[in-house]
Chain A
Amino acid sequence: MKERQKKASSYWKENVRYLFILLSIWFLVSYGAGILFKDVLDNIQIGGFKLGFWFAQQGSIYIFVILIFIYVRLMNKLDKKYGYDT
């Protein structure tokens, strides 16, 4: 019983650590690059796009998709490590 709880709580801790890292990136690309630092990034131009504007209307969305798939991979691995994948 004790062993089981220990396992569950260390699984949960690793999960929360992943969430923290992924959500920090989530925050940085949208609220950071697309809103708070938009004007600074707009000084950089890539093709026809000002960079801050690109993050707000394109870049942040691509990164959101990638973040979820990274999360799926990380969690599938974590489930396996703890034997929760059945």
Chain B
Amino acid sequence: MSVQVWTYVLVGITFALYIGIAIWSRAGSTKDFYVAGGGVSPLANGMATAADWMSAASFISMAGIIAFAGYDGSVYLMGWTGGYVLLALLLAPYLRKFGKFTVPDFIGDRYYSKTARIVAVVCALIVSFTYVAGQMRGVGVVFSRFLEVDIDTGVVIGMVIVLFYAVLGGMKGITYTQVAQYCVLIFAFMVPAIFISIQMTGNPIPQLGMGSKLNDGSGLYLLEKLNGLSTELGFAEYTEGKKSVMDVFMITLALMVGTAGLPHVIVRFFTVKRVKDARKSAGLALLLIAILYTTAPAVSVFAKTNLINTVNEEEYKNMPAWFKNWEGTGLLTFNDKNQDGKIQYLADKEANELVIDNDIMVLANPEIANLPAWVIALVAAGGLAAALSTAAGLLLVISSSVSHDLIKKVFLPNISDKGELWAARGAATLAVVIAGYFGINPPGFVAAVVALAFGLAAASFFPAIVLGIFYKKMNKEGAIAGMVVGISLMLFYMLKFKFGIFDGGKVAVADLEKDWWFGISPEGFGSVAMIVNFVVSIIINKLTPEPPDEVQEIVEDIRIPSGAGAASNH
């Protein structure tokens, strides 16, 4: 069977599976819709969290970015896993004990204020929309290459599927589809990695293959070989970076803290039964995520080495089929500048003839390595699982922010459970349409946009939640001021240095690099904005009255794990 037939078969089967699960796990109440009834097992929640977490950026873009960035790509590896340690130790158990539905719920109650709740809703919406925009492009890329439909049609198909199970099943439907999606995506990621690891090094474990000797008889270690190839072509050594230590430090910190502050991740820990389940399921989630995250850097090394060996100084007319196919999508371009009919892949921009988008490395990798058609199709199904599972989780945050935090808690407190459920479904539908718009008019490449969402989450939620738990005397004035200043500062920096809107648009961005504050990139600036948030919160807190006694009692209560069952029945 051809790759395309295999792709239709595998994508068809997985989609049918997701829809089947959605029908089986329909939501009957708002508690089902928001937190899956609060009775999800730690393992199921761990799997769902892992799928929710690992987006198109993790599955499709990350290994590609690392392949081109080398050591600098480590920021994503450490940043997107280390945040789970913060989440497990500092947030998840206490938020579970608190036992409400959403992150703005916590902020609103802990800081006894509607204003705080509304600020939190606005932050949640900004973060989630920034993030969901990144997913849609992932869906579009997979569809356009493997199913040979138009990118726009691809986005619409993806949206209809998500709409179906998110609107019907809410958190309950999403949780169980995410469990299935985790299985699909991890299988799809590991199979080609294992194949290629055996092919190149003879070691079936990619994590070890990456550090093994090549089995081409040269006796060189794979990483040595790649360092050699990179310097030969004028690039930096693969195991060295170009970014400053300061910037690497700050980006890693922003990604870690952002991970712990992302509403769609935090909300997953509201779905388990007890506090100890929340801790355990954070551990399981990271374990399941680590399987992909420790394999990804190996995939990067394999793919980069294979790519250079396959294309550099080779005749263009002898290029394999995958090369022509990707040229068709515009994500890979060849321009024979010196007219010798061969491909020169070089660091020097003037002489380089080959431009490859980060996003295609994982998808093209099995083809570059000549793996069987079903493996290539499997990767397409995996990429879709990763993008759809994350999109669904984000859409749920958006819809619950609107229906629960705005409609129920602010505008229409007397709305019935049934009415709120319908409001949630309406909000989810609207959110899908807006996300679809972003998918058709994508705002840039996947991981760059996603990385900014972390900065925004780090700058807004993380300090407010941590102070809310660990600093009993933290009051509403401090928390609100901190969130507003933090997210505004991050937005300003991102608009100025990433989008150049104050200096003549995107063309000006490269020149602005020298003006970066303390040499910190927009991706890393979330760390600075977070620190500013902490400082502002604490100063304002000192100048304004203490929180009321009953709020301080809430804080004492969430620090103790027993009795969480009762707290969630409200």
* Complex contact A65–B74 (CB within 8 A): no
Q: From residue A82, how far is it (CB to closest CB) to chain B in Å?
A: 8
* Complex contact A62–B297 (CB within 8 A): no
Across the interface, B213 reaches (CB within 8 A) one of A23, A48, A86, namely: A48
Interface string of B66-102 (1 = CB under 8 A from A): 1000010110011001101110111001000000000
What residue in chain B is nearest A46 (Cβ atoms)?
B211
CA distance A64 to B83 in the complex (A): 9
What residue in chain B is nearest A86 (Cβ atoms)?
B562
Majority SS at the chain A contact face: helix
Knowing A22-B89, A53-B239, A57-B297, the reply to whether A68 touches B290 (Cβ < 8 A) is no
Number of interface residues of B (CB under 8 A): 50
* Complex contact A56–B74 (CB within 8 A): yes
CA distance A55 to B561 in the complex (A): 34
Stretch of B149-157, B218-226, B363-371, B375-383 that contacts chain A: B218-226
CA distance A62 to B222 in the complex (A): 22
Number of interface residues of A (CB under 8 A): 44
Stretch of B124-132, B276-284, B384-392 that contacts chain A: B276-284
Segment 35-51 of A: residues with Cβ below 8 Å from B? 35-36, 38, 42, 46-50
* Complex contact A58–B207 (CB within 8 A): yes
* Complex contact A48–B224 (CB within 8 A): yes
Most chain A C-beta atoms within 10 Å of own C-beta, residue among B74, B286, B287, B559: B74
* Complex contact B78–A56 (CB within 8 A): yes
CA distance A86 to B273 in the complex (A): 12
Q: From residue B544, how far is it (CB to closest CB) to chain A in Å?
A: 25
Segment 218-270 of B: residues with Cβ below 8 Å from A? 221-224, 239, 245, 248-249, 252-253, 256
Knowing A26-B85, A69-B283, A72-B280, the reply to whether A35 touches B294 (Cβ < 8 A) is no
B residues lining the A interface (CB < 8 Å): 66, 71, 73-74, 77-78, 81-82, 84-86, 88-90, 93, 207-208, 210-213, 221-224, 239, 245, 248-249, 252-253, 256, 276, 279-280, 282-283, 286-287, 290, 293-294, 297, 470, 556, 559-563
5 more contacts with CB within 8 A, not counting A34-B78, A79-B562, A84-B562, are: A22-B85, A48-B212, A57-B71, A75-B279, A84-B561
The 3 closest A-B pairs by CB, nearest first: A48-B221, A56-B74, A48-B211
Question: 13 pairs across A/B with beta carbons < 8 Å?
Answer: A30-B256, A35-B248, A38-B71, A50-B239, A61-B294, A64-B81, A64-B85, A68-B283, A72-B279, A72-B283, A79-B276, A84-B560, A85-B561
